[in-house]
A = this chain, B = another copy of it.
C-alpha cells in the first residue's frame, strides 16, 4: 500500500469533521480558525545519524511542519514535539539541548514557540511535531481550488535536497557539493512561511507544499481540484549544483529535480496573468488542464518510475 492509499484508508476509517472544517487529506487540517498539521521524521527512513546532527533533526522536524502550515496560508502560533529517543547521538551530553535550541530558533524566526510535547526512550529515534497556525480571515487555501488554465508556479528552485541526499548517501561524489549548499537544503530547509501568508492574501486558487517532489505534489494539487497538469520541464528552476549531481546519477537534470522530494517550496495555482505578491519568487512550471493526470513536456523525459518520492533514505 503506498502512502496515498494508506491516507485514503485512514480517512475512510477515522475521517469526519465539523461543517466548515478540513480533515484528512490536505497539508493541514482546519479546526475553526486554527490550522493543525503533524509530520514525523523517522530514523533510517527520513534521516540517518551518519549525516544528521541533533540540531539538524530538530530544525527539520519543525520546518517540515511549518511548511505544511504555509501551504494553507496560516501563521504559525505554536508547536508540540514528541521525541522517541533511540540510542546514538541524542544520548551525548548537550545533544537534546542542541536539538531543542535549533527548534526554538526556527520557531522564533517564524513567530511561534515550542509549547509542549512528550519524550520517551525508544529503539529508534522518531520525532513527531504538531504545528498550530492561525488562518487568514479569508480562510485556508486548499489543494482543490485550482481551475483549468491556471498557471502552476513554484516559489523557488527545486532538486537541491534530493541532490544533497544523493551526495550524503554516497550515490554521487561529495565533490559535487563543494560549498555544502545541497547538504544545507537537505538538512536545514527553510519553510516558506511569509510567502505562504502573502500568497493566501493574494488569493491564489490552490496551494500545496513541495515535499514529495514537484511532479507528484503538482499532481496531487491537480487531482484534488478535479484536474490534470502539464509540466514544462525546460522551465523547472534547478538549484545550483543539482544538474551536476543529476548527470552523475545518469539522470535528466530537470526530470531529477521535478521528481526529487523535500524541496519545501510552495506550489500554487493562479491565473496566468496574476502578478506574484511582492517578495515572493514565483516561477511558472506548468498549466492546470481539464484532462486528468500528470504529463511532462517535452514528452518522454520524466520517467513515470521516478515520479514518486518514497521518503526512504536508501533511495537514489
Which residues of A does B touch, CB under 8 Å?
A: 3, 6-7, 9-10, 12-18, 21-24, 28-29, 31-32, 34, 36-40, 42-46, 77-78, 80-82, 84, 96-97, 100-101, 103-104, 107, 113-124, 126, 128, 130, 132, 311-312
CB distance from A61 to the nearest CB of B (A): 11
Given contacts A7-B119, A80-B36, A115-B29, are A14 and B101 in contact (CB under 8 A)?
A: yes
Contact A130 B40 (CB under 8 A): no
Chain B residues near A114 (CB-CB < 8 A): 10, 14-15, 23-24
Contact A96 B10 (CB under 8 A): yes
User: What 3 A-B pairs are tightest by C-beta distance, nearest first?
Assistant: A29-B115, A130-B130, A82-B128
Contact A113 B17 (CB under 8 A): yes
Given contacts A104-B16, A115-B21, are A128 and B36 in contact (CB under 8 A)?
A: no
Which residue of the partner chain B has the closest CB to A41? Answer: B120
Please measure, in the bound complex, the distance between the C-alpha atom of A24 and the C-alpha atom of B78, giving whole angstroms: 12
Chain B residues near A117 (CB-CB < 8 A): 10, 24, 38
Please measure, in the bound complex, the distance between the C-alpha atom of A128 and the C-alpha atom of B119, giving whole angstroms: 10
CB distance from A76 to the nearest CB of B (A): 11
Please measure, in the bound complex, the distance between the C-alpha atom of A7 and the C-alpha atom of B311, giving whole angstroms: 30
Q: Could you list 8 further interchain pairs (A-B, Cβ under 8 angstroms) beyond the known A16-B104, A40-B120?
A: A10-B96, A14-B103, A14-B113, A37-B80, A38-B82, A43-B122, A120-B311, A123-B124
Contact sample, A vs B, 21 pairs, CB 8 Å cutoff: A7-B119, A10-B117, A13-B97, A14-B81, A18-B113, A23-B113, A23-B114, A29-B80, A31-B115, A32-B77, A34-B132, A36-B78, A36-B132, A43-B123, A45-B120, A45-B122, A80-B130, A84-B126, A122-B126, A126-B126, A126-B128
